[in-house]
Amino acid sequence: MKNTEYRFDAVLFDFADTLFNSRSALLPDLMAARCADAGLAASESDCSRWIERIIAYVASDEGRARMRSCDFSLPLHRASWTACVHACEDIPHAFAEPFYEVFCDARLWRPFHDALPVLRMLSARGIAVGVISNIGWDIRPALDVNHMSGFIEVVVQSFELGAIKPEPAPFRSALEQLDITPARALMVGDNWSTDGGAQALGVTTLLLPQVQDPSLPRGLDMVLDIVGIGRRQGDGTGLTASGIAAPAFA
């Protein structure tokens, strides 16, 4: 079992809206191009309007009901999103495929500006990093293309495990793979109804507020404060003492 000089030996992160901006792959230009390939007449403006309509529907009570089981498997995920697109009466059914193929292309997802520097700093200090995600497609290509995989020891995905947060199984799986006790782990997420499930296992849990401007840092530097890692300007992490991300951190 790993022991560090810091308060925690491992930090477990949620994926969407914690490390990565969930709207970053909602790209109307690419969706319009996919529509053209499929023989569907749709402008970039059309796609932008349809995207917002779909996201609003998914956030509704009816939409949430349709999406309740989506993250248990790959087929359920695609079927749930397709059903939501089809439920929007003003959107052509044929748009479901271009929408899904672009939105769920892991290579198109982008992290918040402070995600990589924080992961890099945790790893450099010997603190294990894991990602636990309720997801219906493989997030590993997103981690690879954004240079994060080398700093992450464990990835737990609901569609592979057949269990979703807040069930204990995803958290327990990450802890067991890392050989870390719950008391020595910190869970970082954005949704109390899912990520908050870590508390039932005795894992200290940090829930970040939603961000209004995804171009700004996510506030993940708070993790370093909680873990007990000091930050100095110019220490190579990409974060200044004030926690603002540097302009570039490839």
- Provide the CA 225 distance to its chain's centre, in angstroms: 21
Q: Look-up: residue for tokens 């609901």?
A: 158
Q: Do the Cβ atoms of 219 and 245 come closer than 8 Å?
A: no
Q: Do the Cβ atoms of 249 and 116 come closer than 8 Å?
A: yes
Torsion of CA 93, 94, 99, 104, to 10 degrees: 100
Amino acid at 132: I
Low-confidence ranges of the chain (pLDDT < 50): 233-238, 240-250
CA atoms within 13 A on the CB side of 74: 5
Using alpha carbons only, give the angle 182, 185, 191 rounded to the nearest 5 degrees.
100
Q: What is the arrangement of strands in the sheet containing 154-157, beginning at the earlier edge strand? A: 154-157, 128-133, 10-13, 185-189, 204-207
| Of 38, 77, 85, 97, nearest in space to 58 by CA | 85
> Is-cis flag, bond preceding 182, omega within 30?
no
pLDDT the model gives residue 216:
80
Query: How many angstroms separate the Cα of 76 from the Cα of each of 52, 124, 154, 178?
Result: 22, 38, 24, 29
Domains of the chain: 10-21+108-227 (3.40.50.1000), 28-104 (no CATH)
pLDDT the model gives residue 233:
44
Amino acid at 102: V
